[in-house]
């Protein structure tokens, strides 16, 4: 819903001051805790020597991050640089063949990394879903896609299929699950698109070109087949004005973000501290709240960097890739955290919304790998999405709707915005708590909840809510400003 009401500049300035001070105070507590715990026995495995010229140990608890930007950094740079080089040469010499170049280079890179038997395994899944697409039955394609995905997540099939990988290396499991899972999703997208457009017969070659595009292969994102096919089939792609500048800026931002995160991990051990509950329990309430928040922010930053690197290469290939997820800092409603529009429609009816969220999290559970923590995470987020709609529908119910009307009549529009921001603050922390379950552990989530809601009540609880309220108001103001700028831009285009 668009926010039309502006708040006084002095009030927004106060919110900025409060939020900045609270973040600085929490950051100071986390910095001191990281310094105190650097030599703890429990930290020995995940806090190790970092950059020599910084002179501090580094949090290396996230092995994926460490592998991407240390031992596998040169391999990733070499593979993507080769892709960009050959893509540029092909675009200059024979642009009509660039889709074939993408597929051949990607297939060779996958084969060189994972081995020929892994390539044959993926080709088997591709052919299976391609044959299903020829039958023109969407339910069959979706069912086979889910079955293929389940085969990579459940024993004994996963153990059998993982044996197709040649050799052993640090990121083998991550690349295996990433390449296999995204292959199934891409093949399912292809099959459903074929069913939706029976007048157009796509070939197996079209599917292989789509699947083995290297920048998207191992880590996504998933660009639907219809969009990829339309964009990669352009015989003479043309860049928009200023597009190259935007690509350079995106590449520079991604490199800067990687360096900032690496430096951050030398001073704040936000990934290691939650694993030591005794130490985490000694943190001040403000530092503990900041620790919970920073873990979700890091998860978003990690995804945004991955999107940024991959999307930069995709943009160089004249593609318009999916945008990165919305930052957790800008989220205060569950409905903006997931995409499930096809089933949920306008997200205004209870039953379709319930069906959409259940379907979304059923597939997400299968994607992540069924286990107790994933079940709990899926249930909590599915409940959060539906609970928002239930509250909205309850507010529209006769007696309550009349109360809402009378409230709006008695309150100014600015006060109404303040009341809604208070509920947004509560929702923001629900999002954080529900997702901490999967990012850290159930025990750490229980510790944060107990400290902020029980032992810290009412001082800590109210203080954290007020700081969050200030943040929500600033996000709302940012959204209002952007919407106003977009409206002015559209008006200007109409006049021209």
Q: How far apart are CA 270 and CA 277, in angstroms?
A: 13
The pLDDT confidence band at residue 399, using thresholds 50, 70 and 90, is low
Tokens of 361: 């999290």
Dihedral angle, C-alpha 39, 40, 44, 47, nearest 10 °: -60
Which of the residue ranges 43-57, 89-103, 120-134 has the most confident prediction, judged by mean pLDDT? Answer: 120-134
Q: Minimal CA–CA distance to 405: which of 420, 416, 391?
A: 416
Which of the residue ranges 172-186, 392-406, 413-427, 441-455 has the most confident prediction, judged by mean pLDDT? Answer: 441-455
For residue 268, the 8-state DSSP code is -
Model pLDDT, residue 174 = 83
Cα 382 versus chain centre, distance: 17
Which of the residue ranges 318-322, 342-346, 459-463, 484-488 has the most confident prediction, judged by mean pLDDT? Answer: 459-463
What's this model's pTM, rounded to 2 decimal places? 0.87
The pLDDT confidence band at residue 442, using thresholds 50, 70 and 90, is very high
Which of the residue ranges 24-38, 236-250, 382-396, 412-426 has the most confident prediction, judged by mean pLDDT? Answer: 24-38
Model pLDDT, residue 110 = 92
pLDDT at residue 341 tops 70: no
Average pLDDT over residues 442-447: 94
What percent of the chain clears pLDDT 90, i.e. is strictly above it? 42
Sign of CA dihedral 92, 93, 95, 101: negative
Average pLDDT over residues 239-254: 88
Close Cβ partners of 432 (under 8 Å, ≥ 6 residues apart) = 292, 293, 296, 328
Question: Which tens digit of pLDDT belongs to each residue from 27-84?
Answer: 999 999 999 988 888 888 888 888 877 778 899 999 888 888 776 788 888 889 999 9
Q: How far apart are CA 182 and CA 178, in angstroms?
A: 6
Distances (CA, A) of 113 to 74, 208, 368: 14, 18, 23
Q: How far apart are CA 110 and CA 212, in angstroms?
A: 8
Q: Which residue has the higher pLDDT, 411 or 315?
A: 315
Q: How far apart are CA 381 and CA 386, in angstroms?
A: 9
Query: Distance from first CA to last CA of the chain, Å, rounded?
Result: 29
Q: How far apart are CA 200 and CA 442, in angstroms?
A: 49
Model pLDDT, residue 343 = 54
3-state helix, strand, coil in the chain (%, to 5): 75, 0, 25
Question: Which tens digit of pLDDT belongs to each residue from 204-245?
Answer: 999 999 999 999 998 888 888 999 999 998 877 788 888 889
Model pLDDT, residue 493 = 73
274, 226 Cβ separation under 8 angstroms? no
Model pLDDT, residue 37 = 87
Average pLDDT over residues 296-324: 89
Any idea how long the chain is? 496
E strand or H helix at 382: helix 372-395
pLDDT at residue 340 tops 60: no
């Amino acid at each position: 819903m668009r926010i039309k009401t502006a708040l006084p500049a002095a009030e927004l300035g106060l919110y900025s001051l409060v939020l900045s001070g609270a973040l600085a105070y929490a950051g100071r507590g986390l910095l001191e805790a990281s310094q105190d715990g650097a030599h703890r026995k429990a930290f020995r495995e995940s806090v190790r020597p970092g950059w020599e010229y910084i002179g501090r140990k580094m949090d290396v608890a996230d092995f994926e991050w460490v592998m991407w930007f240390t031992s596998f950094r040169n391999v990733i740079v070499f593979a993507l640089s080769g892709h960009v080089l050959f893509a540029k040469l092909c675009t200059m010499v024979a642009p009509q063949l660039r889709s074939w170049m993408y597929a051949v280079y990607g297939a060779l890179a996958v084969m060189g990394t994972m081995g020929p038997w892994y390539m044959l395994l993926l080709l088997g899944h591709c052919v299976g879903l391609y044959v299903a697409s020829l039958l023109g039955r969407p339910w069959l394609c979706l069912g086979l896609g889910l079955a293929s995905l389940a085969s990579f997540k459940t024993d004994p099939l996963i153990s059998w299929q993982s044996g197709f990988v040649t050799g052993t290396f640090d990121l083998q499991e991550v690349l295996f699950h990433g390449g296999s899972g995204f292959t199934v999703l891409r093949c399912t997208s292809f099959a459903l698109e074929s069913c939706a457009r029976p007048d157009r017969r796509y070939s197996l070659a079209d599917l292989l070109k789509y699947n083995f595009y290297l920048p998207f292969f191992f880590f996504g994102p998933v660009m639907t087949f219809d969009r990829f096919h339309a964009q990669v089939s352009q015989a003479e792609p043309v860049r928009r004005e200023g597009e190259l500048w935007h690509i350079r800026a995106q590449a520079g931002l991604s490199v800067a973000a990687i360096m900032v995160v690496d430096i951050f991990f030398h001073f704040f051990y936000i990934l290691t501290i939650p694993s030591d509950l005794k130490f985490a329990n000694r943190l001040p309430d403000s530092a503990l709240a900041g620790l919970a928040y920073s873990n979700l922010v890091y998860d978003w930053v990690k995804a945004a960097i991955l999107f940024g690197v991959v999307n930069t290469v995709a943009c160089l290939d004249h593609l318009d890739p999916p945008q990165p997820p919305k930052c957790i800092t800008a989220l205060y409603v569950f409905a903006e955290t997931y995409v499930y529009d096809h089933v949920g429609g306008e997200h205004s009816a209870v039953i379709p919304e319930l069906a959409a969220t259940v379907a979304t999290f059923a597939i997400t559970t299968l994607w992540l790998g069924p286990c107790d923590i994933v079940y709990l995470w899926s249930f909590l987020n599915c409940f959060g999405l539906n609970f928002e709609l239930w509250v909205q529908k309850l507010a529209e119910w006769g007696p309550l709707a009349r109360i809402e009307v009378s409230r709006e009549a008695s309150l100014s529009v600015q006060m109404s915005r303040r009341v809604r921001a208070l509920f947004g603050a509560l929702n923001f922390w629900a999002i954080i708590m529900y997702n901490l379950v999967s990012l850290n552990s159930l025990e750490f989530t229980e510790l944060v909840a107990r400290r902020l809601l029980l032992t810290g009540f009412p001082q800590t609880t109210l203080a954290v809510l007020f700081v969050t309220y200030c943040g929500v108001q600033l996000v709302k103001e940012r959204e209002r400003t952007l919407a106003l700028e977009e409206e002015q831009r559209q008006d200007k285009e109409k006049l021209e």
